[in-house]
Amino acid sequence: MAAALENETDTKNSLPQELYQNFWIDPRFVPGVKALQEEFEPRPDDIFLASLTKTGTTWGKALLRTIVSLCHACPNPLPDDEKSPNASVPNLELELFNSIKQHDVSIFSELPSPRVLHTHLPFHGLPTLVRSCSSDCKIVYITRNPRDTFVSLCKFYDKLRQDGWPAPVETLLFDGFCSGSLIHCGPFAEHVLGYWRESKSNPNKVMFVTYEDLQADCVGWVKKLGIFMGCSPRLVEENAERVVQICSFDSLSNMEGNKSGIALENTLRMRNAHLFRKGKVGDWKKYFTPEMEERIYRDIEQKLNNEDIHLTY
Ligand code: PAP
C-alpha cells in the first residue's frame, strides 16, 4: 500500500539529494561516484550512454545494445526475452550502489567487449578517462523536451507510490525539477548543456540525440549511431530497420524481462514495467498550466534556446 504522505517536509526528506560537484545526487551514491571518477578505466571500444532520468534511457539502452549485437564487428549476442535493457546495459553509479561489492569498480570488468554502459552523471562528473579525448571510447547523450520529461517523472513517481515508496507530491516535484534539486544529476539545463557543448567541440567523441529525433526518424538515427559507434556501414544499413523494430515501444514493453522483471534487486527494487507508459511526444499539453509553462521556460528552456538547442514540444 502507498505510504501516506503526511506533509511536504516528510515528502521532501523522502528524496535526499545533495549538491555534489555542482550536480544534485542522493548522498548514498556519492562513494560509488567517487570510486568511478578515480578508478574506472574505460576500454577503447566502450560505448557510454548518458541521459537524465525519463529522457529516453530505456529506449537508448536497447538501441545501442541492439546495434552492437547486429552491426558490430565483435557482436555481443542479442539479449534474450528475459533480460530487460536495464540488465544488459548497467547504470554505472546505480549498479555500484546495488552491488554487494559496493564501490568496487571491478564489477564491470566481467562484461564482454564491446561494453555498453549507462550513466546519469553530467559530463563534468564522468570518470576522467572516459571524457578524455585521448581515450577512444564513445559517448552517446540522449535528452528530451523537459515538459514531457517532467510528466513522465511525475507519472513514474505515482507508480512508485503505489508500490509503497515515499515520493514527492506534484507541486513540490515541479519546483524541484525546475530548480534541479529533485532530479537525479540535475539541474536539467546544465546537464544538457555540458554534453551539448562537448558534442560540438568533439563530435567524434560525443553524439547528441533527442527523444523527439528518435520518434521522428528512428531508422535514420540508428544509422548515424551505428557509424558513430564504429560499426560496419554495410551491417548498419542492412539491419537498421530490424534494430528499430526490436526496440520499439511495443516490442520492449512486451518483453518478459520488462513485464515482470525487477531492477536493482538488492537495494531500490524497481519494477521494469514502470519504465513504459505512453512513449509519445507532447503529452505535457494535457497537464501544464500557463504558470508551469512560464516557470519551466524561465528555469530551463531559455537556457537551452540561448545555446541554439531547439527541442520539439
Ligand atoms: P529512466 O531514466 O528511469 O530509465 P527512461 O527510460 O529515460 O526512464 O524514460 C521512460 C520514458 O521513456 C517513458 O515515457 P512516458 O512516461 O512519457 O511514456 C516511457 O514510456 C518511454 N519509453 C520507454 N521505452 C520506449 C521506447 N522503446 N520507445 C519510446 N518511448 C519509450
Segment-wise mean pLDDT, segments of 10 residues, the chain, 313 residues: 36 72 95 94 96 97 95 80 77 89 88 95 96 92 98 94 84 94 96 98 97 98 97 96 96 89 82 94 97 98 97 97
Q: Is 152 in the pocket of ligand 1 (CB under 6 A)?
A: yes
> In the 3-class helix/strand/coil scheme, how is 164-179 assigned residue by residue?
CCCCCCHHHHHHHHHH
Q: Is 271 in the pocket of ligand 1 (CB under 6 A)?
A: no
Sign of CA dihedral 66, 68, 73, 76: negative
Rounded CA separation 59/276 (Å): 10
How many alpha carbons lie under 13 Å from residue 238 in its C-beta half-sphere?
8
Does residue 124 have an active-site annotation?
no
DSSP secondary structure code for residue 91 in this structure? B
Rounded CA separation 89/115 (Å): 8
Instruction: Choose which residue among 54, 84, 147, 177 to substitute to test ligand 1 binding: the one with the highest number of ligand atoms within 8 A of its C-beta.
Output: 54
pLDDT of residue 8: 40
pLDDT of residue 145: 98
pLDDT of residue 13: 41
Q: Is 279 in the pocket of ligand 1 (CB under 6 A)?
A: yes
Beta bridge partners of 271: 262
| Residue among 141, 112, 124, 120 nearest 45 (CA) | 112
pLDDT of residue 250: 96
Q: Is 168 in the pocket of ligand 1 (CB under 6 A)?
A: no
Q: Is 311 in the pocket of ligand 1 (CB under 6 A)?
A: no
List the residue whose alpha carbon is closest to atom 26 of ligand 1.
249
List the residue whose alpha carbon is closest to atom 27 of ligand 1.
249
Atom of ligand 1 nearest to the CA of 57: 7
Q: Is 59 in the pocket of ligand 1 (CB under 6 A)?
A: yes
Span from the CA of 147 to the centroid of ligand 1 (angstroms):
14
Residue range 78-133, pLDDT digits in tens = 777 667 777 789 999 999 988 877 689 999 999 999 999 999 999 999 999 999 98
Span from the CA of 89 to the centroid of ligand 1 (angstroms):
15
Q: Dig out the grid coordinates for 283 from the structure.
A: 503529452
Instruction: Choose which residue among 52, 64, 88, 152 to substitute to test ligand 1 binding: the one with the highest number of ligand atoms within 8 A of its C-beta.
Output: 152
List the residue whose alpha carbon is closest to atom 23 of ligand 1.
276
Q: Is 56 in the pocket of ligand 1 (CB under 6 A)?
A: yes
CA distances from 263 to 71, 121, 174, 202, 267 (A): 27, 19, 26, 33, 9
Q: Is 184 in the pocket of ligand 1 (CB under 6 A)?
A: no
Q: Is 274 in the pocket of ligand 1 (CB under 6 A)?
A: no
List the residue whose alpha carbon is closest to atom 28 of ligand 1.
249
CA distances from 41 to 109, 131, 199, 298 (A): 9, 11, 22, 39
Catalytically annotated residue among 120, 124, 191, 310: 120
pLDDT of residue 133: 81
Rounded CA separation 247/85 (Å): 10
- Going through the chain in order, the beta strands assigned E by DSSP cover 18-20, 23-25, 47-51, 116-119, 138-143, 206-210, 262-263, 270-271
Residue with cell 568496487: 104
